[in-house]
Amino acid sequence: MSHPKYRPATLLVHQGKDRDPATGAATVPIYQASTYHHEGGVSGEYDYARSGNPSREQVEEAIALLEGGVRGFAYASGMTAIGSALSLLKSGDHLVASADLYGGSWRFITGVLPQQGITVSLVDTTDPDAVKAAITPQTKAFFLETPSNPLFQITDLRAMVEIAKENDLITMLDNTFMTPLMQRPLDLGIDVTIHSATKFLGGHSDILAGLTTTADVGLAKRLKYFQNAFGAVLSPFDSFLLSRGIKTLKVRLDAAQKTAQTLSERLEAHSAISRVWFPGLCNFQGRELHFSQATGAGAVLSFELKEELQVKKLLEGVKLPIIAPSLGGVETILTHCWSMSHAAIPAQDKLQQGISKKLLRISIGLEDVEDLWEDLDSGLR
Ligand SMILES: *Cc1c(COP(=O)(O)O)cnc(C)c1O
């Protein structure tokens, strides 16, 4: 890593390499090649693109620098990043995971891992005693998400690390919602940080991408081995777009967070809304804990409507947000969690977790706050 002494805003712009080492070009080019010439039969720095590519290395170095890892890894999607981190487990192992998870993570953890002989307990990780009680002699790792999605439950990362250390477990955290700018889990002792870079890091709703990083040299070796063996790497073109997105993360996130704060307060006071979940609200449950391990509230909030009928009206009435299962783009994205982001979770489980049909999630984009408010307010009437 070339310049770890810089502060995050500078790292975002300059990343691991701030110009093409070969030509001095202002951006690292899209090295669109599958293989590399072995001069005289001898491999150089690169030999085959699954194992290494300069465009991909650009974002792999960036995430390691931003999170304080020894090495970063870029994958074809956030789910690949999650699956690759979970490849640290083997048949016979047991995983403890947060019950309130991103829908795709829930599907992978409950649907795929058991087929590989890995048993799973989904527990309320906001309760350290429940986590301790779920540990068995086979438990090898924790898979966590905080704030959770869509109900913004806050898990005490320091407490999780302490329990994990006592039991010799690997801790993994999906840090997609906070990004390395607002939450640096490796500093708190988390072993592996995971991102869906499709969201804030990419930032423009134009790629699927995933990242992992770790501060542990042994884990980095195992992640590298799996990345090369499995081969679900991020393409050179998507790496270029991700690197470009990362450069503006701070200004985008700062602006979106400010708008999210204003809108969360106005939505909370709105007569059509029964509840708003956003860490920036004064009465947010878990606020103190969240701000003890993160520096911002983020730019995503959830709210519940009083009447189920109003969901359809709102989704038909709003003009600015795209209505879709995603977040972290320059455009505001409105999600009906029940039928979109959390569609993979059976109705009974959703209801048990508190995800009702009246729940909506909104990822605030970079539009003017007043335009967004007028649009939402008219959709809620
Ligand atoms: C979107 C998302 C994922 C999955 O990422 P993809 O890039 O869609 O594969 C995982 N975790 C969280 C929190 C997400 O929002």
Site to probe by mutation for ligand 1, drawn from 59, 102, 234, 342 as the one with most ligand atoms within 8 Å of Cβ, is: 102
What integer is the mean pLDDT of 348-361?
Answer: 92
The mean pLDDT of the chain is 96
**What's the pTM?**
0.96
Strand-pair category, 300-305 with 273-277: antiparallel
What integer is the mean pLDDT of 37-65?
Answer: 96
Q: Judge whether 144 and 171 are in contact, CB under 8 Å.
A: yes
236-247 and 54-67 are packed helices; what angle lies between their axes, rounded to 10 degrees? 40
User: Quick one: pLDDT at residue 343?
Assistant: 86
DSSP track, 342-367: TTTS-HHHHHHHT--TTEEEEE--SS
pLDDT one-digit tens code per residue, 307-349: 999 999 999 999 999 999 999 999 999 999 999 988 888 999 8
Q: Residue 123: phi, psi to the nearest 5?
A: -130, 160
User: Quick one: pLDDT at residue 4?
Assistant: 55
Q: How far is the CA of 197 from the centre of ligand 1 (A)?
A: 8
197 Cα nearest atom in ligand 1:
7
pLDDT one-digit tens code per residue, 10-24: 999 999 999 999 999
Sign of CA dihedral 213, 94, 105, 207: positive
249-268 and 369-380 are packed helices; what angle lies between their axes, rounded to 10 degrees? 40
Q: Is the CB of 144 under 6 A from ligand 1?
A: no
User: Quick one: pLDDT at residue 1?
Assistant: 45
Q: CA 366 to CA 372: how far, in whole Å?
A: 10
The residue among 182, 185, 176 whose CA lies nearest residue 363 is 176
Catalytic residues: 50, 102, 174, 199
pLDDT one-digit tens code per residue, 164-192: 999 999 999 999 999 999 999 999 999 99
Sign of CA dihedral 373, 376, 377, 378: positive
What integer is the mean pLDDT of 192-221?
Answer: 98
| Domains, the chain, with CATH or none | 8-247 (3.40.640.10), 249-380 (3.90.1150.10)
Q: What is the DSSP letter of 116?
A: G
pLDDT one-digit tens code per residue, 119-149: 999 999 999 999 999 999 999 999 999 999 8
Q: Is the pLDDT of residue 73 over 80?
A: yes
User: Quick one: pLDDT at residue 242?
Assistant: 98
Q: Is the pLDDT of residue 2 over 60?
A: no
Chain centroid offset of residue 293 CA: 16
